[in-house]
């Protein structure tokens, strides 16, 4: 049927947003309403005429409400083909139901309540709702299926304008209905999988919904959109955006990298990111000091960068931020007097993040699949470090090495990081040769190498990288160790009067 004129509607909703106005409009259009349980009670309180479902089925709700709509007079009224099954429907006194308006028990919200028992959670698995929705969506040729309260207005508009519901609309709503039932079942499936306490499950349901359409992708000739996991409302896509232009594809990637890096630290910290790599990171006694140190670590690269702060942004920091061209600022909060200052830069994107560190796994999509691994949450402490050279690092150098190792986890390998007094001074990122990474870091640091330490994300396979450090002022090196030429590398450090420690751990980032 290209157009149907509904005569009867079944409404059973957990989310009652917009219900009363919608039901009133249906009644004004001469459409009868059938309802269940709590929905019926809400309609009754609003004095909206309707029939209870048990009046249709001539059978009461049973088993504490577990069974109420699972009945041939309801299922048949929805599923029957109007051009074929009318005689059979008349024989069994089944009246057609032309519009099904249903949403489900909020299972996702329920499983967030840690105080609930498994039995209580199971009672919130909707059975009747998905059954009604699947039946109506399957029979969209004759039935409209509404699962989203935002569609109520479109239903009423179409009924008033066309005296019916078009086939195009019914197909669109059916598609949305099957998306909902698929998502709902996947959520329940994932809940039970998670209860197995396995890190890597035999199957994973990734339910993604479009968050925003992007102007373009990495380059203007590429179309792009951002999708968010239905089950996970954390991360950049859930940030509160106070102002600024729309986020781009590259902005989102860089902002995510910046927030992950700065979240490593408990002390006041700032991370400045360009092209998904840190260009300046620092911790200090105050957040403003950390920002100033991070910015001046590589002010040239900081131009057009992403700044992440792990403390609320103050007026003082805001005044420093607007003095430079930046793309994005991210912080867990903003002082009221900081936002007006940031607003003087109309295009600057200002994001407020919820500091959530519950993420345990990370994924990367490859062609035809997904790679999944535990998040690199390793922390190297003083007791983990093994001094392997004649010269021992000072306490200050040890502190800077531990700082550098936390930052190094966020630099693309091969990665080399130079740091001094808990601030980066030179970074060589994403090089195909470790020697090239050392050369790049030294070049970036310039005269700042004196008294700095060097951190390497993997072992040195030869002494050539260490020989590059001669007469640069580099005082100490932190690296995993484990090369068959470790003794050669240690000897190079001893030759040049450089201290070296091994972590016994690698921190590659691809």
Q: Cα–chain-centroid distance for residue 336?
A: 27
* DSSP element (H, E) containing 402: helix 395-408
Active-site position among 16, 138, 171, 335: 138
Q: 46 and 138 in contact (C-beta within 8 Å)?
A: no
3-class SS of residue 372: strand
Q: How far is CA 450 from CA 51, 298, 418, 426, 466, in A?
A: 84, 16, 10, 12, 15
Find the Cα–Cα–Cα–Cα dihedral 181, 185, 191, 196, rounded to 10°: -160
Please name which of 291, 292, 259, 263 lies closest in space to residue 276, comparing C-alpha atoms.
259
Can the peptide bond before residue 340 be classed as cis, meaning omega within 30 degrees of 0? no
What CA–CA distance (Å, rounded) separates 39 from 353? 37
Active-site position among 241, 242, 275, 296: 275
Question: Which residues have CB under 8 Å from 102's CB, separation 6+?
Answer: 10, 11, 12, 13, 129, 132, 133, 136, 145, 146, 147
Question: Taken in order 441, 442, 446, 452, is the CA torsion positive or negative?
Answer: positive
Q: 485 and 461 in contact (C-beta within 8 Å)?
A: yes
Q: Is 274 a catalytic residue?
A: no
What CA–CA distance (Å, rounded) separates 192 from 109? 15
Q: How far is CA 326 from CA 34, 255, 411, 441, in A?
A: 57, 12, 20, 23
Q: Is 293 a catalytic residue?
A: no
What are the phi and psi torsion angles at 481 (to 5°)? Answer: 75, 175
- Which residue blocks in 278-343 are alpha helix, DSSP H? 287-297, 299-302, 315-321, 339-342
Give me the active site residues, please: 138, 275
């Amino acid at each position: 049927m290209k157009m149907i004129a509904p005569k009867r509607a079944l409404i059973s909703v957990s989310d009652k947003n917009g219900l009363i106005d919608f039901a009133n409009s249906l009644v004004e259009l001469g459409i009868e309403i059938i309802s269940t349980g709590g929905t019926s009670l809400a309609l009754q309180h609003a004095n909206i005429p309707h029939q209870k479902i048990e009046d249709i089925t001539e059978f009461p709700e049973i088993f504490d409400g577990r069974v109420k709509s699972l009945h041939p007079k309801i299922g048949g009224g929805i599923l029957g083909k109007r051009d074929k099954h009318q005689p059979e429907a008349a024989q069994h006194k089944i009246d057609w139901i032309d519009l099904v308006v249903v949403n489900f028990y909020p299972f996702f919200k329920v499983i967030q309540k840690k105080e609930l028992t498994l039995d209580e959670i199971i009672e919130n698995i909707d059975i009747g709702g998905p059954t009604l929705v699947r039946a109506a969506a399957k029979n969209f040729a004759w039935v409209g299926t509404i699962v989203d309260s935002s569609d109520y207005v479109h239903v009423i508009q179409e009924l008033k304008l066309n005296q019916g519901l078009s086939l195009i609309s019914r197909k669109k709503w059916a598609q949305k209905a099957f998306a909902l039932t698929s998502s709902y079942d996947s959520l329940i499936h994932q809940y039970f999988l998670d209860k197995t306490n396995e890190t890597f499950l035999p199957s994973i349901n990734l339910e993604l919904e479009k968050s925003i359409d992007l102007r373009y992708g990495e380059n203007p000739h590429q179309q792009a959109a951002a999708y968010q996991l239905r089950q996970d409302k954390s991360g950049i896509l859930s940030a509160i955006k106070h102002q600024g232009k729309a986020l781009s594809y590259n902005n989102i990637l860089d902002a995510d990298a910046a927030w992950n890096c700065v979240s490593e630290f408990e002390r006041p910290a700032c991370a400045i990111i360009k092209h998904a790599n840190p260009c300046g990171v620092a911790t200090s006694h105050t957040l403003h000091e950390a920002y100033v140190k991070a910015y001046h670590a590589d002010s040239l690269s900081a131009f057009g960068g992403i700044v992440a702060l792990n403390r609320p942004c103050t007026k003082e920091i805001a005044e420093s931020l607007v003095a430079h061209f930046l793309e994005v600022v991210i912080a867990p909060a903003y002082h009221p007097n900081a936002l007006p200052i940031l607003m003087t830069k109309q295009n600057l994107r200002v994001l407020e993040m919820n500091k959530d560190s519950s993420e345990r796994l990370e994924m990367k999509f490859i062609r035809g699949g997904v790679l999944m691994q535990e998040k690199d949450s390793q922390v190297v402490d003083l007791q983990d470090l093994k001094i392997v050279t004649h010269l021992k690092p000072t306490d200050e150098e040890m502190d800077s090495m531990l700082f550098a190792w936390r930052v190094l986890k966020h630099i693309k390998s091969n990665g080399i990081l130079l740091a001094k007094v808990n601030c980066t001074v030179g970074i060589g990122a994403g090089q195909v040769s470790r020697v090239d990474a050392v050369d790049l870091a030294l070049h970036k640091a310039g005269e700042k190498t004196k008294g700095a330490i060097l951190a390497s994300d993997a072992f040195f396979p030869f002494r050539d990288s260490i020989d590059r450090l001669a007469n640069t002022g580099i005082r100490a090196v932190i690296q995993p160790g484990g090369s068959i030429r470790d003794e050669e590398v240690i000897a190079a450090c001893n030759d040049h009067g450089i201290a070296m420690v091994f972590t016994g751990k690698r921190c590659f980032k691809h």
